[in-house]
Amino acid sequence: MNGSCLCGDVRYELKLDHINMYQCHCEQCRKQTGTASSCGSVVRDEVFVWLSGEGNIGVWEKDSGFTSHFCRSCGSSVPNKFRGYPYYWIPVGTLDSANVVTVANLYSCEKARWSNVVSGVNSYETKPSIKSLVKLLVDTDSE
């Protein structure tokens, strides 16, 4: 399963047949994406491979520690390594094609009133612990 930024400079591969995804409805994710929710996943280091453009990735960090990794050419979100963990965060919309299963909805209490995104699947009022999120996304039959 391959993915890339909008211009194709940053490319990566996931050695997976399908991927589990969460949708985050928090204000930060809505503002970062300009959409009703951010669609992301977490994968183990060993299934992730950079194919090109890793040197073209920019990083913006908020005082809270929230980071945004993006292609410097087109601005698209791109995968990034979890700080201190053997995982990568994957912006699911960057996958060229994928068999995706939604397994969780985060910050359902902050869901935009105008959003028609169905947020009932494993709905969390806030963010679950990293351990819980990894269990939902990674420690299943997806790998």
Task: Round to whole Å and give the CA distance between 89 and 112.
Answer: 23
- Taking CA atoms, 35 is separated from 6, 45, 83, 84, in Å, by 16, 28, 25, 29
Task: Round to whole Å and give the CA distance between 67 and 10.
Answer: 18
> For residue 123, what are its two tokens?
């709905």
Task: Round to whole Å and give the CA distance between 82 and 63.
Answer: 17
2-132 CATH choice from 3.10.100.10, 3.50.50.60, 1.10.579.10, 2.170.150.70: 2.170.150.70
Q: Residue 60 has what pLDDT?
A: 93
DSSP 74: T
Q: Residue 97 has what pLDDT?
A: 81
Q: Residue 111 has what pLDDT?
A: 79
Regions of the chain short of the pLDDT cut 70: 118-121, 139-143
Q: Where are the domains of the chain?
A: 2-132
Task: Round to whole Å and give the CA distance between 109 and 106.
Answer: 8
